[in-house]
Amino acid sequence: MTENAPNLIGQSVARIEDPELLTGKGTFAADFNRAGQIHMRVLRSPVAFGRLGGIDTAEARALPGVIAVWTAEDIADLPQIDFRMTKVQGLGPYRQWCLARDYVRYVGDPIAVVFAETAFLAEDACDLIFPEIGELDPQLDPLDDPSPYMPETMPGVLSEPAVLRKGSGDVEAVFAHAAEVVELELSVGRHSGIPLETRGALGVYDRDSDTITMYGAAKVPHYNRGAIADMLRLPVERVHLSEGHVGGGFGPRGELYPEDVLVCYACRRLGRPVKWIEDRREHFLSTNHSRDQHYRLKAAIDERGVIQALDAEFFTDQGAYVRTHGATVSDLAAALLPGPYLIPAYRVAGHIRLTNKTPCGTYRAPGRYESSFARERLIDAIAARKGLDPFEIRARNLIPEDRIPFDRGIDALGTHVVYDSGKYHDLLARLRAALDWDALSARVAARRAEGERIGLGIGYFVEKSGLGPDDKVRLHFYPDGLICIVTGVANIGQGVETAMAQICGGTLGLPMAGISILHGQTRLIDEGRGAFATRVTVMTGSAVKLASEALLDQALDLAAGRFGLPREELRYRAGRIWHEGGASVTLCELAAEYGGEDGLVAEGIFRSDHMTYPYGIHFAQVKLDPGTGGVQIERYMVAFDVGRAINPMLVEGQITGAVAQGIGGALYEEFVYDAAGQPLVTSFADYLMPTAMEIPPIETLIREDAPSPLNPLGVKGAGEGGITAAGAAIASAVEDAIGRPGVVDRLPLTPERVAGWLRG
Amino acid sequence: MNEKLDITLTVNGRSHALGVEPRRNLADALRDDLGLTGTHVGCEHGVCGACTVLMDGRPVRSCLTFACQAEGAAIETVEGLADGDRLHPLQQKFWELHGLQCGFCTPGMLMLAAGALRENPDMDDEEIREVMSSNLCRCTGYQNILRAVRAAADVMRAEGAQG
């Protein structure tokens, strides 16, 4: 019935987002301004843990140009910030207030907020606020026994909000008869996404309609809209969120934080537009940290090194409060710790622990970067014990193709974990061939013989993507041929407009020019799930395909009626419907004839109850400096099956960017605290983000061997796999270079640690 | 500290008279007083380089430069890089080679590269890598940025040879 022009899907086309961004015409959070706006500044706790007494704001209030100064008392009607995603019970008491009540729990905890005519004045006024804080001993080690959360006001509430337990198979029985048991203790340091744009928001209140609009939204505008409306006790239609350009997402950006709520609340109460832009120090103190997990693994293995059972316990240091992600990081870590391996019996206990540090949330591949590091360290330890090479030990443990779809028998994010498609052995063999592993190993051996400290390592991972439950888009086709797709998705820099335009254009056999994507505007569409959990291409992309097909369906009906011919005799190609007998009409003509002001309108709704599971392998070759302990990455490769690549250039871009972040977390980036809970990392001079000098060229082996059966495009998300096993592969390579199996037990691999391991 | 100084800033060839507090930095003056929001502020402590502009042809961190220090200098920002509708070769190559994702660091990267190539049009790959390591990017992993600067340098050299 339909024939299309060469398909845009699968082409490495340049992005439609770029011209504005290249010419300085982007609109990031700080670029929004309104006449009459005032500026908000947050006073933050200077101590890690303390009983909050009186707060003297008199001097600040008296400063000319200061409009208001609020503490918790002034916003007593605002509730705690709720969870966006979690099904775990019992976390409620640990939610953060917009301004601290009774206690401060981390350096950076908001104590008071100032509104003033200029940003400078607001900052000056913060210096004139004097809180009384009775300092207490902070809890800083999540492995210590849980301590009272707020001892006087919440007696009996301890700093372990929950322990997640999952499992399948009879672990006890396997251990009772195990040939050998391997035990490891591992940890991953605290670091985070650190987008280059800090957070920011502009709240604008329209008195006539009693409506609040927040500009500078990101990631999940529709969810946040509802949450803000609930907190302000307003009907949801009185709150709108509007997304401009977003300077990087990566997990932290776009979650609902105290400042977003305060901006919305204040613009209505004060009757002036309120602008807040986070500074970089504040970002380090107040935007979600992540990772920071400690693992204890115990594996029962057979004579061949095949894991028969895995008994795992881990601790997630989630900082001062439980923020919007709830138990997400621990949930995903627990669910995906077994990764690509069969592991017939599995049991895990994931402890969520709170400490007096910045609260944590998700960061690209949350729970998987950490658990992949832990699992792959375990696999390497088994390989060392059995004298097997890194490919052989993995081949022996991988899930065979005939067992896929593979039901792990556990849940993640409320969905059943079923690996939907995968050729795990095949990808391993392809990587081995691409590296010419035996020759490479021989070259490395020769260099070692010359005295160089060279190492090779790999890390296998299974990712998850495409979290449902649904996604909706609305497609408008106008008489001039322009197509507008309205979606509740968000663009955090990943190229969603281009990918969606490709799917639409590819489905309709039309060029990308003329297709525009409107996203992140709650005014334009009543629902949307946003951009997280590598869900956009899978969920929104599928909805775009369905909407495009619905448009075609509608057009064929219209044409059939117009021609008075049976619909099944009509043909379609590149915007034109015709009949062999000569009748012909274009989509533009149909839109002019039958479409109203909105053109021809079609909707696409895609639903999915299961996530889809991409998988891949990281490879690293490193060289150590025995003098300094410095790690140089000589070569890096990622083999990654994404099911189907809508735009291979963008997929490669996602992988390369994610690898760079993974290298950062493996070697350089770490939030460190002193014994009093004071953060020692509050600037880019302390937080060592990789530069162009640290990142080597990243080789990619992008495969489409196992398309997902769960969506009409066959796609799996490509946004996170570039980071997932980076820590694992680099640790493996560094340990190989050190030559002492089992020593590398923590990330990041700082020069100090590496030098220590080298010394023995 | 709050007294204002009257200064004239010359930005992308146009003169602007404005009154600024001595503590106002060039980035804020460009963005908030002149509405040139293409210059981004990522750290305000001179590390990330998102605020890089050219001052008398050389890259500077506009967050570490007071507006009043820029008086009398020729300032160039990303808004002045294209020639009307014709993208600068750096912009063109960043686009073609996917040298940007979120685009926040991009203006700083473009101005840094523009200044560096003006100083040395014949940079080799290692020199490009070193100079571009002055600025941070969190999205791309840098490889496509380096490729784009290399390709733009080649285009600019060829154009220079012709013209």
Considering the domain delimited by A290-466+611-759, tell me its CATH architecture. Answer: 2-Layer Sandwich (3.30)
Give the up-direction half-sphere exposure of residue A391: CA atoms within 13 A in the CB hemisphere: 16
Domain boundaries, chain A: 18-26+467-607, 32-136+198-246+253-286, 290-466+611-759
A168 in helix, strand or coil?
A: strand
CATH homologous superfamily for the domain B5-80: Beta-grasp domain (3.10.20.30)
Query: B107–A194: do the CB atoms touch at under 8 Å?
Result: no
Size (chain A), residues = 760
Tokens of residue A251, six digits: 């997990």
- Chain A residues close to B36, C-beta within 8 Å: 24
Q: Report the candidate in A554, A599, A562, A600 with the shortest Cα–Cα distance to residue A579.
A: A562
Query: B106–A656: do the CB atoms touch at under 8 Å?
Result: no
Gap from A356 CA to chain B (nearest CA, Å):
25
Gap from B120 CA to chain A (nearest CA, Å):
19
Query: A494–B101: do the CB atoms touch at under 8 Å?
Result: yes
Tell me the per-residue pLDDT of A603-634, one tens digit each, with 9 for 90 and over. 999 999 999 999 999 999 999 999 999 999 99
pLDDT for the residue numbered B1: 53
Q: Is the dihedral of CA A705, A706, A712, A716 positive or negative?
A: negative
Stretch A36-61: mean pLDDT = 98
Across the beta sheet with A515-519, the strand order is A515-519, A483-487, A470-477, A600-607
Query: B143–A194: do the CB atoms touch at under 8 Å?
Result: no
For A333, A393, B70, the CA distances from A350, given in Å and listed in that order, are 8, 27, 56
From-to residues of CATH 3.10.20.30 in chain B: 5-80
Cα(A378)–Cα(A189) distance, integer angstroms: 18
Q: What is the DSSP track for A661-695?
A: HHHIIIII----B-TTS-BS--STTTS----TTTP
Chain A and chain B share a number of CB contacts under 8 A equal to 167
From-to residues of CATH 1.10.150.120 in chain B: 89-162
Gap from B31 CA to chain A (nearest CA, Å):
8
Cα(A702)–Cα(A704) distance, integer angstroms: 7
Query: B102–A683: do the CB atoms touch at under 8 Å?
Result: no
Query: A14–B136: do the CB atoms touch at under 8 Å?
Result: no
Substitution target in B138, B145, B147 with the highest count of A β-carbons within 10 Å is: B138
Among the residues of A564-596, which ranges form H helices? 587-594
Among the partner residues A15, A26, A660, nearest to B141 by beta-carbon distance: A660
pLDDT for the residue numbered A6: 57
ipTM for the assembly: 0.98
- Chain A residues close to B21, C-beta within 8 Å: 120
Gap from B98 CA to chain A (nearest CA, Å):
7
pLDDT bucket at B161, cuts 50 / 70 / 90? confident
Cα(A349)–Cα(A314) distance, integer angstroms: 6
Query: Rounded to 10 degrees, what is the CA torsion of A85, A257, A337, A704?
Result: 80
Tell me the per-residue pLDDT of A649-691, one tens digit each, with 9 for 90 and over. 999 999 999 999 999 999 999 999 999 999 999 999 999 999 9
Q: What angle do CA A709, A711, A712 make, to 5 degrees?
A: 100
> Does B142 score more than 80 pLDDT?
yes
Query: B37–A19: do the CB atoms touch at under 8 Å?
Result: no
Tell me the per-residue pLDDT of B54-94, one tens digit each, with 9 for 90 and over. 999 999 999 999 999 999 999 999 999 999 999 999 999 99
Q: Report the candidate in A275, A270, A263, A258 with the shortest Cα–Cα distance to residue A239.
A: A263
Please identify among residues 18-37 of chain B the ones whose CB lies closer than 8 Å to any CB of chain A: 21, 23, 31, 36-37
Q: What is the DSSP track for A611-648?
A: -B--EEEEEEEEEE-TTT--EEEEEEEEEEE-SS-S-H
Gap from B78 CA to chain A (nearest CA, Å):
6
Stretch A213-227: mean pLDDT = 97
Gap from B9 CA to chain A (nearest CA, Å):
19
Q: Do the domains A290-466+611-759 and A18-26+467-607 match in fold?
A: yes
Tell me the per-residue pLDDT of A293-304, one tens digit each, with 9 for 90 and over. 999 999 999 999
Q: Do B91 and B35 meet the contact criterion of CB atoms below 8 Å apart?
A: no
For A167, A409, A428, A660, the CA distances from A730, given in Å and listed in that order, are 29, 31, 17, 12
Query: B103–A30: do the CB atoms touch at under 8 Å?
Result: no
- Chain B residues close to A247, C-beta within 8 Å: 40, 42, 102-105
The 3 state secondary structure assigned to A173-219 is: HHHHCCCEEEEEEEEEEEECCCCCCCCEEEEEEECCCCEEEEEEECC
pLDDT bucket at A533, cuts 50 / 70 / 90? confident
- In chain B, the residue whose alpha carbon lies closest to the alpha carbon of A684 is B47
Cα(B146)–Cα(B93) distance, integer angstroms: 10
The CATH class, in words, for A32-136+198-246+253-286 is: alpha beta
- Chain A residues close to B135, C-beta within 8 Å: 691
Query: A657–B141: do the CB atoms touch at under 8 Å?
Result: yes
> Does B116 score more than 90 pLDDT?
yes
- In chain B, the residue whose alpha carbon lies closest to the alpha carbon of A663 is B141
Among the partner residues B98, B133, B134, nearest to A649 by beta-carbon distance: B98
Query: B102–A196: do the CB atoms touch at under 8 Å?
Result: yes
> Does A208 score more than 90 pLDDT?
yes
Stretch A193-215: mean pLDDT = 98
Peptide bond before residue B89 is cis, with ω within 30 degrees of 0: no
Please identify among residues 36-55 of chain B the ones whose CB lies closer than 8 Å to any CB of chain A: 36-45, 47-48, 50
Q: Do A173 and A311 meet the contact criterion of CB atoms below 8 Å apart?
A: no
CATH of domain B89-162: 1.10.150.120
Query: B40–A692: do the CB atoms touch at under 8 Å?
Result: no
Q: What integer best gives the mean pLDDT of chain A? A: 97
CATH classification number, A18-26+467-607, choose in 3.40.50.2300, 3.40.50.300, 3.30.60.50, 3.30.365.10: 3.30.365.10
Q: Do B120 and B142 meet the contact criterion of CB atoms below 8 Å apart?
A: no
Gap from A759 CA to chain B (nearest CA, Å):
32
Across the beta sheet with A130-135, the strand order is A103-104, A50-56, A130-135
> Does A444 score more than 80 pLDDT?
yes
Substitution target in A496, A647, A691 with the highest count of B β-carbons within 10 Å is: A691
> Does A4 score more than 60 pLDDT?
no
- Chain A residues close to B50, C-beta within 8 Å: 196
- In chain B, the residue whose alpha carbon lies closest to the alpha carbon of A492 is B102
Gap from B37 CA to chain A (nearest CA, Å):
6
Tell me the per-residue pLDDT of A694-750, one tens digit each, with 9 for 90 and over. 999 999 999 999 999 999 999 999 999 999 999 999 999 999 999 999 999 999 999
pLDDT for the residue numbered A313: 98
Query: CB distance from B132 to chain A under 8 Å?
Result: yes
Cα(A722)–Cα(A720) distance, integer angstroms: 5
Among the partner residues B91, B136, B143, nearest to A23 by beta-carbon distance: B91
Stated as kind and residue range, the H or E segment containing A13 is none
